[in-house]
């Protein structure tokens, strides 16, 4: 007679976890390769505009960023809610941009200096007045290669 | 007697690598730097007043964006959706219209003789209160117009898309349709104050 006999003490064979570190290391290397370090901590809130004809920014070491947007909640008391500019980790004024660019450029290797790109990373609700001021400052600093950061979208 | 070597206990290796993995996940971000690349005109000498460059009226395509993000293209109101077609019509001037930019014939190495609108300029003017998104939209449509024209020419001449062309061909196509989007000296007009 066929009876299903319960195994007394067999149980499941133990799962081998010896390859787990290798798997996790693989994941780790994958993430290290495809991601980049955060450039700065944002002090301004930025929702980039959307556009369809985007180009990738090449050679990150040649790119300097200018952030434009409303200050984050925790800075509201100190700086108000008007649109501000952030350079590196600090709030800045339009007339500081020229010095900032000049300093950044002198810090670069000489052969890279003309290749510097300035990326304007602004909130989509920013008024053009401040952007125009930044552009004029960049012209005066001879940083003529600029890039407007945007998110990609299909078409309308 | 040969002593058996103790094996290193590797069970905590997984924890260590997990920790590292999580650290990298938190401190890094995916590469999302994409944008519209533009070139600014060089600065004017400080003692020089901005002067209107003498450009024939038919060669210039004016796009104005006011403080309410409305478009005025060549003197008429327009929806952003129609801007690309209008710009393409202007840049290409297929039927040699006398109101559109004049055409000049030039011989290119890979393309042969081509008539193109060498002297056309697209001028984008915006108000102080224009929204950034609206400005980017306009820039985007103009760049899209150029990209489409380049693609059309590449398909016609080489049967390939612009980006698949060889470097030399790409350069020639680019010089037929160079991106000439000028950003005028800032001035205040219309809408506010």
Model confidence pLDDT, tens digit, residues A77-107: 888 888 899 988 889 998 899 999 999 999 9
Domain for residue A10, yes or no? Answer: no
* Calpha distance B169→A62 (Å, rounded): 28
Domain for residue B45, yes or no? Answer: no
Residue contacts between A and B (CB atoms, under 8 Å): 155
Domain for residue B125, yes or no? Answer: yes
Domain for residue A28, yes or no? Answer: no
Task: Judge whether residue A1 has pLDDT over 60.
Answer: no
From the list B31, B136, B137, the residue facing A36 with the nearest CB is B31
Domain for residue B93, yes or no? Answer: yes
Domain for residue A84, yes or no? Answer: yes
pTM: predicted TM-score of the whole model, two decimal places: 0.77
Q: Kindly provide the ipTM of the predicted complex, given to two decimals.
A: 0.76
Domain for residue B188, yes or no? Answer: no
For A113-117, which contacts have Cβ atoms below 8 Å and span 24 or more sequence positions? A115/A59, A115/A62, A115/A145, A116/A62, A116/A63, A116/A64, A116/A143, A116/A145, A117/A57, A117/A62, A117/A63, A117/A64, A117/A145, A117/A146, A117/A147, A117/B37
User: Please, which residues 99-138 of chain B have a Cβ atom closer than 8 Å to chain A?
Assistant: 126-133, 135-137
Q: How many structural domains compose chain A?
A: 1
| Residue A108 to chain B, least CA–CA distance (Å) | 20
Do the beta carbons of residue B39 and residue A145 sit within 8 Å?
A: yes
Write out the residue range of the structural domain in which residue A76 sits: 44-49+71-152
User: Please, which residues 18-77 of chain B have a Cβ atom closer than 8 Å to chain A?
Assistant: 18, 20-21, 24-25, 27-43, 65
The single-letter DSSP state of residue A141 is T
Q: How many structural domains compose chain B?
A: 1
Give residue A155's pLDDT band: very low, low, confident or very high (50, 70, 90): low
Go through chain B and tell me how many residues it has. 193
Whether A144 sits inside 8 A of B14 (CB atoms) is no
Residue A97 is predicted with a pLDDT of 92
Domain for residue B169, yes or no? Answer: yes
Q: Which residue is associated with the tokens 């401190």?
A: B27
Whether A128 sits inside 8 A of B128 (CB atoms) is yes
Give me B96's structure tokens.
């040699």
| B148 CB-near residues (< 8 Å, 6+ apart) | B84, B88
Domain for residue B140, yes or no? Answer: yes
| Residue B97 to chain A, least CA–CA distance (Å) | 29
* Calpha distance B187→B176 (Å, rounded): 31
Residue B3 is predicted with a pLDDT of 66
Residue B27: what are its φ and ψ, rounded to 5°? Answer: -85, -10
Domain for residue A39, yes or no? Answer: no
Picking from A30, A148, A154 by the largest number of B CB atoms within 10 A of its own CB, the best residue to mutate is: A148
Reported as a single tens digit per residue, the pLDDT across B49-92 is: 666 566 777 888 889 888 888 888 888 888 988 898 888 888 88
Write out the residue range of the structural domain in which residue B100 sits: 57-182
| Residue A90 to chain B, least CA–CA distance (Å) | 20
* Calpha distance B127→B25 (Å, rounded): 42
Which of A8-17, A96-105, B32-41, B107-116 ranks highest by mean pLDDT?
A96-105
Where are the alpha helices (H) located in A47-115, listed in sequence order? 76-79, 97-107
Domain for residue A108, yes or no? Answer: yes
* Calpha distance B118→B58 (Å, rounded): 12
Residues of A in contact with B186 (CB under 8 A): 132, 136
Domain for residue A92, yes or no? Answer: yes
SS3 per residue for B149-175: HHHHHHHHHHCCCHHHCCHHHHHHHHH
Give residue B136's pLDDT band: very low, low, confident or very high (50, 70, 90): very high
| Residue A3 to chain B, least CA–CA distance (Å) | 41
């Amino acid at each position: 007679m066929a009876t299903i006999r319960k195994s007394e003490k067999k149980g499941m064979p133990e799962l081998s976890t010896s390859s787990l570190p290798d798997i996790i290391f693989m994941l780790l290397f994958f993430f290290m390769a495809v991601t980049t370090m955060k450039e700065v901590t944002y002090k301004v809130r930025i929702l980039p505009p959307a556009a369809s004809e985007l180009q990738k920014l090449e050679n990150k070491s040649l790119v300097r960023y200018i952030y434009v947007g409303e200050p984050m909640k925790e800075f509201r008391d100190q700086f108000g809610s008007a649109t501000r500019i952030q350079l590196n980790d600090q709030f800045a004024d339009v007339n500081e941009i020229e010095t900032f660019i000049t300093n950044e450029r002198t810090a670069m290797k000489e052969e890279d200096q003309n290749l510097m790109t300035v990326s304007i990373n602004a909130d989509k609700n920013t008024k053009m007045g401040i952007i125009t001021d930044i552009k004029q400052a960049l012209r005066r600093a001879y940083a003529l290669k600029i890039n407007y950061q945007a998110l990609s979208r299909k078409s309308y | 007697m040969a002593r058996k070597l103790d094996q290193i206990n590797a069970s905590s290796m997984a924890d260590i690598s997990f920790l590292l993995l999580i650290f990298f996940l938190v401190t890094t971000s995916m590469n999302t730097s994409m944008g519209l690349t533009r070139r600014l005109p060089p600065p004017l000498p400080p003692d020089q007043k901005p002067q209107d460059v003498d450009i024939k009226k038919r060669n210039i395509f004016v796009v104005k964006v006011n403080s309410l993000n409305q478009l005025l293209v060549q003197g008429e109101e327009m929806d952003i959706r129609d801007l690309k077609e209008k710009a393409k019509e202007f840049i290409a001037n297929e039927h040699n219209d006398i109101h559109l930019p004049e055409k000049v014939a030039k011989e290119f190495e890979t393309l042969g003789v081509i008539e193109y609108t060498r002297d056309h300029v697209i001028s984008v003017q915006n108000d102080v209160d224009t929204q950034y998104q609206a400005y980017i939209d306009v820039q985007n449509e103009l760049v899209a117009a150029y990209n489409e024209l380049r693609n059309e020419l590449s398909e016609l001449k080489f049967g390939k898309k612009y980006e698949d062309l060889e470097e030399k061909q790409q350069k020639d196509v680019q010089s037929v349709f160079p991106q000439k989007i000028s950003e005028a000296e800032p001035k205040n007009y219309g809408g506010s104050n």
